[in-house]
Each structure stands twice: as structure tokens, then as C-alpha cells.
Amino acid sequence: MKKPGLFEMPFADIYRLYVMKAERKGRTRAEVDELICWLTGYDLKSLRQQIDLGNDLKTFFDQAPEINPDASKITGVVCGVRVEEIEDRLMQKIRRLDKLVDELAKGRPMEKILRK
């Protein structure tokens, strides 16, 4: 049986991994939530709904209220690829979120992660 691709993975599974990564490094679930809400425009209630519904990553990003206009300021390398050079729009959004969580886990201050 073929494993689902990244786009078909449940967002709840990815979310759980993000939280685990952050908490291992002394950060909090609330900080992960803040990053996700900042990037996607979800509020906490609608973020929880996405998790509870079991939506996949594609649906999660397709239903995002509004990708933050400052998302283009998220640059750097994730999985060996420069985020700003990813051509597939959905993959770029996923990798931008990965980058934000990486920065959180590395101890970067929230105001810098959120490009303020």
C-alpha cells in the first residue's frame, strides 16, 4: 500500500510533531499556536477545528483565512532547500511553517520569528 504524500498527511499529525519539537527545546504549545495563527490567519478556535476535523495539510492551507503578507520574509534552508526558491506554492507554505517552528526550537525570540 502506498503511503500518503506530504500534502495528504493529517495536519494534526504534523501539529503534534511541531509541539513535541518545541517542547523538547523548552518552548510551549502556545508559542507553536501563535506561529501557526500568525502565518495562516486562523484563530485558536478555528485552528483547533482543523485539528479535530483531521484535515490534511492541503486542506489546512487551502482553508487558511489569510496567509500573512510578511510570510515572504521567511527565508533560509529547510530540508536542504531554500524556502524562498520553492516553486510549488503549497510546499512553500508548508516549508515556511517548518522554518518558523525550527526557529522557535532554536530559541529565537518570538518578535524576530514573527518578523516584527
Instruction: Report the CATH number at residue 62.
Output: 1.10.8.290
Q: What sign results for the dihedral spanned by CA atoms 17, 18, 23, 24?
A: positive
Do 21 and 82 touch, CB atoms closer than 8 A?
no
Q: In what helix (H) or strand (E) does residue 47 lie, and over which residues does it extend?
A: helix 44-53
User: Which residue in the block uniquely carries the three cell numbers 477545528?
Assistant: 49
Residue-number span of the structural domain to which 35 is assigned: 7-108
Q: Is residue 113 part of a domain?
A: no
- pLDDT in 10s for each residue of the chain, 116 residues: 444 588 899 999 999 999 999 999 999 999 999 999 999 999 999 999 999 999 999 999 999 999 999 999 999 998 888 999 999 999 999 999 999 999 999 999 999 999 87
Asked whether residue 79 is assigned to any structural domain, the reply reads yes
Give phi and psi for 10, each to the nearest 5. -60, 130
In a domain, 115, yes or no: no
C-alpha cell, 111: 518578535
Question: Is position 75 within any domain?
Answer: yes
Total domain count, the chain: 1
Is there a domain that residue 60 lies in?
yes
Phi/psi of residue 113, nearest 5 degrees: -60, -40
2 vs 17: CA distance, rounded Å: 22
Is residue 92 a part of any domain in this protein?
yes
Identify whether 1 is part of a domain: no
User: Alpha carbon of 7 to those of 35, 61, 64: distances in Å?
Assistant: 20, 10, 15
